[in-house]
A and B are shown apart, each in its own frame.
Chain A
Amino acid sequence: MNEINPSGWRPSISASGVAAPSIETFTDNRALQLEEALIFEIGNLEHCGVDFDDDDLDETLLGGLPSRRSAPVDLPGLTEPEAVRHYTRLSRQNYAIDLGLFPLGSCTMKHNPRLDEKVARMPGFADVHPLQPQSTVQGALKVMNELAQWLITLTGMHGVAMTPKAGAHGELCGLLCIRAALEARGDAREVILVPESAHGTNPATAAFAGYRVENIPATADGRVDVAALTARLGPDVAGVMITNPNTCGLFERDLKTISDAVHAAGGFVYCDGANFNAIVGRVRPGDLGVDAMHINLHKTFSTPHGGGGPGSGPVVLSEALAPFGPLPFTARQADGSVRLVEEETAAEEGHAQAFGRMCAFHGQMGMYTRALAYILSHGADGLRQVSGDAVLNANYVLRSLDDVLDAPFGAAGPCMHEALFSDDGFAEGFSTLDLAKGLIDEGFHPMTVYFPLVVHGAMLVEPTETESKRSLDQFIGAMRSLAERARAGDEALKSAPHLAPRRRLDETLAARKPKLVWKG
């Protein structure tokens, strides 16, 4: 950078030689940091952004529906530029992966390659309708089929259910496969074992699928207590749900031993594959005895997520469970075409035992195209490097900070794709929340806090493989500064953020007395 700008000169953000006076602006805007009111406060209930000619509101065009409501719906009226500016201003107050590092552990907020976006927007993929004749959507069906083959190959499994819409939906799909397989052999089992190191959705899924959940403790090094798990196995245990790598960012190295014991007791192994991005190209879960595992396409294989979607959670299945997987699925035919197998044709494809469907149509087409574009643009060797770089980056963060932040499992060796810290060592009265709020002042989205529950004041950082060393160093520098302030007891940290458009919000009041409607 110095070669480009040898003098190193730039206008300072704070010091201009004159102390900044405290200024109250008429608009409450602070230069380009814009205040924005609610749309109802800007808009006017009497105005409308579009001029309608009353004569054009013909009931025949509305299929006989009345063209006038009996009462106004109180929508705010804004001009088109007002509406555009409102949402553009709001978007400037947002934090996004396209603005900076997003260290939210367990969520895998990584860069979404623009190539994948371009492919997903191609009209042949973006504009198809799920009810089109199959002969007119062969390209889209081939994408689904090819992606399915990649997922089977990468995981070493036998089949895949593509339709689940996200991780937890995939978990449910996997448990319904296990239930179907048990029922097919007339075996009523009631219990699903869930280790403490598993994802929080796992016990919820098992309960939703009608199973009784029993917890298995973790060992002091953050992994499943194998002795406790095997001791609990028996004829009432339908299976275990295990997250690998687990929520402490550690590889469950005893998974094969666990799988063998579960199978010997007649149960099945569900693996939460949300963290597959840490092992893709290096470990095939099928080799570890896994019977079902969902893959978060929106995490491991990029695709934008956050803010509620969209996600996609295909479930790879072992030979024992594959016959029970849901409809529809794709199957390549002798003539090279791809057929979408539905109820009418399931028996022809050897799938008469399918337990049903997870959704009305085929799943998230837009995620399929992005994921396949990601896979093909990386290639098998590139995917292997993805997991390697994700693990390298997390360990770089862990080892760069473990002298100022307590790393509860740091002594156990390298972590996987997530670096986990605790609040041990902070001055009395200082918490993980204070450090997280301080990160907002530093211009970062905070990391995941207070999860996993097994670590006191947990801070879970997932840098992902897409961050450069320069980006990581900036984040590490900010974390180091905040950790030192928390250890020294810097009172200003307890009321952070100070530089954000709003100071620390009263989250307790918001949760206790939420205001869910405008007015009143």
Chain B
Amino acid sequence: MPRYFTKDHEWIEVEGDAATVGITEYAQSQLGDITFVELPAAGASVGKGDSCSVVDSVKAASDVYAPVSGSVTEGNAALEDQPELVNSDAEGAGWLWRMTLSDAGELADLMDEGAYKAYVAEL
């Protein structure tokens, strides 16, 4: 399944018109220990670039933006009790929400893994 990345350090994995969104390993390493994750409600309609979630760490509260437009289908309920999953497995079990895509064409604006790695190396 193809995975895309944003300059704001979100990842999105797409399967058909459904997708899973999270923050990258680089993002979690910069935020430090995550203490709380505020998730979008199922059914919420989001636009590309909208703030959908807030990740609180010991350093800061950071917005997480929707990489593409669509509709939220579920938030990762496991994070309510175990926000540390975002630290231990940011690009796996620490996913934030699932959504359906309204315009798959928006994926073309995102980076693939190679481009994202090169982008992070520049930071």
Identify the 9 closest CB pairs spanning chains A and B, nearest first. A511-B35, A508-B33, A450-B59, A512-B35, A507-B58, A508-B58, A450-B60, A453-B60, A508-B35
Q: A512 contacts which chain B residues (CB < 8 A)?
A: 35-36, 83-84
4 new A-B contacts at CB < 8 Å, known A507-B33, A511-B33, A511-B56: A451-B60, A508-B35, A508-B58, A512-B36
- Tell me the minimal C-beta distance from A424 to chain B in angstroms: 12
Which chain B residue shows the least CB distance to A506?
Answer: B33
Taking a contact as CB atoms under 8 Å apart, the answer to whether A511 and B36 are in contact is: yes
Q: A450 contacts which chain B residues (CB < 8 A)?
A: 59-60
Which chain A residue shows the least CB distance to B84?
Answer: A512
Which chain B residue shows the least CB distance to A512?
Answer: B35
CA distance A507 to B58 in the complex (A): 7
Q: A507 contacts which chain B residues (CB < 8 A)?
A: 33, 58
Which chain A residue shows the least CB distance to B82?
Answer: A512
Which chain B residue shows the least CB distance to A508?
Answer: B33
Q: Chain B contact residues: over half helix, strand or loop, or mixed?
A: loop
Interfacial residues of chain B within 58-84, with CB under 8 A of chain A in the complex: 58-60, 83-84
Interface mask (B19-59 → A, CB under 8 Å = 1, otherwise 0): 00000000000000101100000000000000000001011
- Tell me the minimal C-beta distance from A106 to chain B in angstroms: 14
- Tell me the minimal C-beta distance from B60 to chain A in angstroms: 6
CA distance A508 to B60 in the complex (A): 12
Which chain A residue shows the least CB distance to B123?
Answer: A456
- Tell me the minimal C-beta distance from A247 to chain B in angstroms: 13
Q: B33 contacts which chain A residues (CB < 8 A)?
A: 507-508, 511
Q: List, sorted by A's number, 8 A–B pairs whose CB atoms are closer than 8 Å.
A: A450-B60, A451-B60, A453-B60, A508-B33, A508-B35, A511-B33, A511-B36, A512-B84
Interface mask (A365-401 → B, CB under 8 Å = 1, otherwise 0): 0000000000000000000000000000000000000
- Tell me the minimal C-beta distance from B120 to chain A in angstroms: 13
CA distance A512 to B59 in the complex (A): 13
- Tell me the minimal C-beta distance from A325 to chain B in angstroms: 33
CA distance A451 to B59 in the complex (A): 9
- Tell me the minimal C-beta distance from A317 to chain B in angstroms: 32
Q: B36 contacts which chain A residues (CB < 8 A)?
A: 511-512
Interfacial residues of chain A within 397-439, with CB under 8 A of chain B in the complex: none
Q: B35 contacts which chain A residues (CB < 8 A)?
A: 508, 511-512
Query: Considering residues B35, B36, B56, which has the most beta carbons from chain A within 10 angstroms of its beta carbon?
Result: B35
Q: B83 contacts which chain A residues (CB < 8 A)?
A: 512
Q: B58 contacts which chain A residues (CB < 8 A)?
A: 507-508, 511
CA distance A7 to B88 in the complex (A): 59
Query: Considering residues A450, A451, A507, A508, which has the most beta carbons from chain B within 10 angstroms of its beta carbon?
Result: A508
CA distance A507 to B57 in the complex (A): 10
CA distance A386 to B83 in the complex (A): 46
- Tell me the minimal C-beta distance from B24 to chain A in angstroms: 16
Q: B59 contacts which chain A residues (CB < 8 A)?
A: 449-450
CA distance A451 to B62 in the complex (A): 13
CA distance A450 to B32 in the complex (A): 11
Interface mask (A479-519 → B, CB under 8 Å = 1, otherwise 0): 00000000000000000000000000001100110000000
Query: Considering residues B33, B59, B60, B83, which has the most beta carbons from chain A within 10 angstroms of its beta carbon?
Result: B59
Q: A511 contacts which chain B residues (CB < 8 A)?
A: 33, 35-36, 56, 58
CA distance A453 to B60 in the complex (A): 8
